[in-house]
Structures are given as C-alpha cells and as structure tokens.
Amino acid sequence: MLNKQQIFGKESEKLAAIHLKKQGYKIVEKNYKNELGEIDIIAKDKNTLVFVEVKARKSSRYGNAKWGVTPSKQKKISMVALLYLKSQKQDNIKARFDVVSINTKYGKPEVEIVKNAFELAYK
C-alpha cells in the first residue's frame, strides 16, 4: 500500500507524462530501474532520447521543485542513463536530460518542462 507521498509522486509522474505527450514526446518507459537507480520517464523527442526527472512540490516552502535536482541526483540519473544506453546498445544515440517541474500554487499544479536541464554528470 502506498503512503501519501508515494501517491503524490505517482500522480505527479502521470501529470508529467501527459504534458510531455502534449509537447510531442513519445513515452518509451516509465520508472525504469537498474542496479544503479531509477529514471522516472524515458521518452523520445523527435530523434533524441530524453531521460526525464519529475520533481513536484505541494508548496513553495522549499522553493521551486526544479531546484530539487541536485548535482548528486544529476550524477545518479546520468549513471542510470549510461547503463540504460549500454544495455539497449544505443551508445551513439543523441540523448539529453530534461526535468519536469510541478509546483502547486493555490491548489493548482503548474507544470514546466525544462529541456537540457543538465549535462551528463559522472565524476
């Protein structure tokens, strides 16, 4: 059984996928996991494979949700993405990292897609 935070996370990921589709992304996988971690959404945007991190906040107490994708989180996502590309034998494909930021204001979610939110970080 999921707790309130997990339910909020799942609902946020569904909302993010809806917005990505409206922008022309094609969802490849959701909640991809390997031994290094998880990527919320893997999608195609034209000829680019996009690794998407979804960040959502119920209030502005801790600032904009997109700032929650810290350098350590970027490194972890990068490592998971590299292993994904290797496992799929897609080492030479064009790829990028996007963040979908969902901030709730006055009870209404505001969704922002940040393309190229960060570079590959593995050091």
**Residue 51: predicted pLDDT:** 98
Amino acid identity of residue 63, one-letter, is G
**Residue 92: predicted pLDDT:** 83
- Edge to edge, what strands does the sheet with 95-105 contain? 26-34, 37-45, 48-57, 95-105, 108-118
- pTM equals 0.93
Cβ atoms of residues 96 and 50 within 8 Å: yes
**Residue 63: predicted pLDDT:** 83
Domains recognised in the chain with CATH numbers: 4-118 (3.40.1350.10)
Cβ atoms of residues 53 and 97 within 8 Å: yes
CA distance 28 to 121: 22
CA distance 48 to 73: 22
**Residue 123: predicted pLDDT:** 60
Residue with tokens 């993405």: 81
CA distance 106 to 115: 26
CA distance 11 to 65: 15
**Residue 9: predicted pLDDT:** 87
From first to last of the 123 residues of the chain, give the pLDDT tens digit. Answer: 888 888 888 999 999 999 999 999 999 999 999 999 999 999 999 999 999 999 999 877 778 889 899 999 999 999 999 999 999 988 788 999 999 999 988 889 999 999 999 999 766
